[in-house]
Structure 1
Amino acid sequence: MDSPEDRLNAFLGHAVGDLGAAISATLMLVGDRLGLYRALAESPATPAELAERTRTHERYIREWLANQAAGGYVTYDAATGHYALDDAQRLCLASPDSPVDLAGAYYIVEAAFHALERTTDNFRTGQGMEWGEHHACLFHGTERFFRAGYHAHLMTEWLPALDGVVDKLSQGARVADVGCGHGASTLLMAKAFPRSQFIGYDYHADSIRTANERARAAGVSNAHFAVADAVGYEDEGLDLVAFFDCLHDMGDPVGAARHARQALRPDGHCLLVEPFAGDAVQDNLNPVGRVYYGASSQICVPVSLARHGPALGAQAGQARLQAIMTEGGFGRFRRATQTPFNLVLEARP
């Protein structure tokens, strides 16, 4: 049996690792904003070479590279003095369309620090914080982090896992993407299925403006975006209603489910993508659960409580989500597929 001193040292070692990650979070943002990861992905470099490529100051770059190498985010060759990204580091740090845009996720961390005073007050009072009250870096970071997963999985795994949906979309379907944010998921589907019509809804007007700008810039004519909450849009006869990583944030998730059920055709589908979670707390005491509980307590729960909602949180789990959809009028519910970060659920009338 370990002695108290052994347990103390083990905990301190773990905590120092977390402290190193925390103090390095802003340096991840520096690396992304200044293009340091992207430049390093092109070829190995010394600090002086990387500084020259990125038009930055060598002394700062030297320190940044040492920090990143100490954390395992870049590799260092002591014999040559060169730093580099290996294949895994390159995929996660310098490729926004990879399965995990790790650098993009740190903008969500930045937003949590912007909201720190409000978060502290919320813990005391039980009050909430609307999505639109957050710093704009949250909207940017959320889009980047989740868009990477959509690029990796939506077309190849998630939609094909739904019963007959790809055929309907190929022939021409009507789709609503509820809680669409900047429209990353909507535009991805619209580009893949030009015969279908897509409408994205979000109650955050600035996000809808951005989504419409993205659609125009991409030349996508079969996707449009409008300001509406999850119980306020007026569509009917839809073939697919999608909720991407948003139902757990809502003030009235049962109402959102009921509204989606009423908007769907009798043979329609509801796609529910949620953060991966088990049904019990102990199922989620792992690194992925830690990330999601952290985001949930500072972002997801406050958004729901701001509207006097049930605050499902980002680790709601399949059983609770099924209960929500069933109460909303759906008769069939199943887990269509999953990833380490997502539950992909299908509800049908």
Structure 2
Amino acid sequence: MTTEIQEPDQARLEQTLGQLVVDMGAAMNGALVLIGVDLGLWRALDESGPTTSEQLAARTGLRERYLREWLSAQVASGYLTYEPDNDTFTLSPEHAMALAREDSPVYLAGGLHLISSVYKDRLRITERIRNGEGFGWHEHDPELFVGTEQFFRPGYRANLVDVWLPTLDGVVDKLRAGATVADIGCGHGVSTTLLAQAFPQSTIRGFDYHDGSIARARELAAEEGVDNDTFEVASATDFPGSDYDLICYFDCLHDMGDPVGALRYARGALADDGTVMLVEPFARDSLPENLNPVGRMYYAASTVLCTPSSLDQPVALGLGAQAGERRLADVAAEAGFGTFRRATETPFNLVLEARP
């Protein structure tokens, strides 16, 4: 039986090629954005206002010919504007918030380190996919850990203390009075240290199975001068302690091989009136509902980061980064939680509350 080959629709073909050209340009320019971060170009543009390539070269001490090409690429990407009458390039305040100002709640440039790491690991991940094997979080290029920290830090700083925690039933009062908190899968400890800074009467314990991340978390906490948080190497099913008032999972439960077992262990470690705070990548409950730019990014990340991590661990459930609230509610119910609800959301995250 032969299958008739259909002739391509010319308009759709042109649309497909156009999208690929756009995507290829974005992939190339991602490296240039990071080069701009590393060389201080975004910061210099933010501080200088409209500037020529010669002025930027004088300000940064870099070769003008390189800068001219870099600036042109950013204009073509829509990140800078160009005024031909006076040959100047300008970084708008809105773009500065995303590309130049690291304390901005919407700073995203650092997250491109995460994407850079994927290209470095591509061949090894391809082999694992070919063989049906997992790829552990700890196996990735170290740039992944830097990118994860820098991608999530702005959102945590902007939302965790002032927006997310107040939506949980009675949690803020406990934290102010002095609570015991476990931050599971804490990575570089950004969330752990934010909690410790905001609630000095509480004890915040960060746990992660990756010893390199725990070492970095300790360094960052010391730099911030925080002394009511601690960091230990431990997994989601063997971390020490009991009677926790709050157990948190920030963008990590879906990476675990056995999320049901992790939440079941957490339920046993909670105080009778304790709370689990589950922060997960934003997703609706079905594929058609997630066909948008955020869903596109998260499905891609899930393919090369989240799902391989889960498949590398016992049980290997493979929730994926776009599990959605309904699937996560099923996981919590199977783990023995009687109450589960969406507390709030952002464009990038679902914030979910589970109670015994």
- Pair in the same fold by TM > 0.5: yes
Verify: 1:192 aligned to 2:194, yes or no.
no
Partners of 1:126 and 1:332 in 2: CA distance: 36
Deviation at 1:152, TM superposition (A): 1.1
Alignment of 1:1-349 (within 5 A): 4-43=9-48, 44-308=50-314, 309-349=316-356
Post-superposition offset of 1:88: 1.2
* CA deviation after TM superposition for structure 1 residue 99, in Å: 2.6
Query: Which whole-Å deviations, capped at 9, do the CAs of 1:73-110 have from their partners, x for residues lacking one?
Result: 11212222111211210110012232332211110111
Structure 1: any 5+ residue segments left out of the alignment?
Answer: none
Deviations 1:220-242 (A, max 9, x none): 11001000000011210110000
Between the two proteins, the alignment pairs up a number of residues equal to 347
Q: Is the 8 A contact 1:98 1:149 kept in 2?
A: no
Residue identity over aligned pairs, in percent, reads: 54
Q: Secondary structure at the match of 2:237?
A: coil
Deviation at 1:15, TM superposition (A): 2.1
Which amino acid in structure 1 is aligned with residue 345 of structure 2? Answer: Q
Cα distance between partner residues in 2 of 1:318 and 1:22: 31
**1:236–1:264: 8 Å Cα contact kept in structure 2?**
yes
Is the 1:179–1:229 contact (alpha carbons within 8 Å) kept by the matching residues of 2?
A: yes
Q: Distance in 2 between matches of 1:151 and 1:266?
A: 29
CA distance in 1, matches of 2:258, 2:269: 16
| Partner amino acid, structure 1, of 2:43 | R
Q: Distance in 2 between matches of 1:246 and 1:97?
A: 24
Task: Give CA deviations for 1:311-343 in whole Å, capped at 9, x if unaligned.
Answer: 111111111111111111111000000001100
- 2:123 maps to amino acid: E
**TM-score normalised by length of structure 2:** 0.95
For residues 167-197 of structure 1, give each alpha carbon's deviation from its aligned partner in whole angstroms, at most 9, with x where no partner exists. Answer: 1111110000000000000101110111011
Instruction: Extract unaligned runs of 5+ from structure 2.
Output: 1-7
Say what the alpha-carbon RMSD is for the aligned residues.
1.2
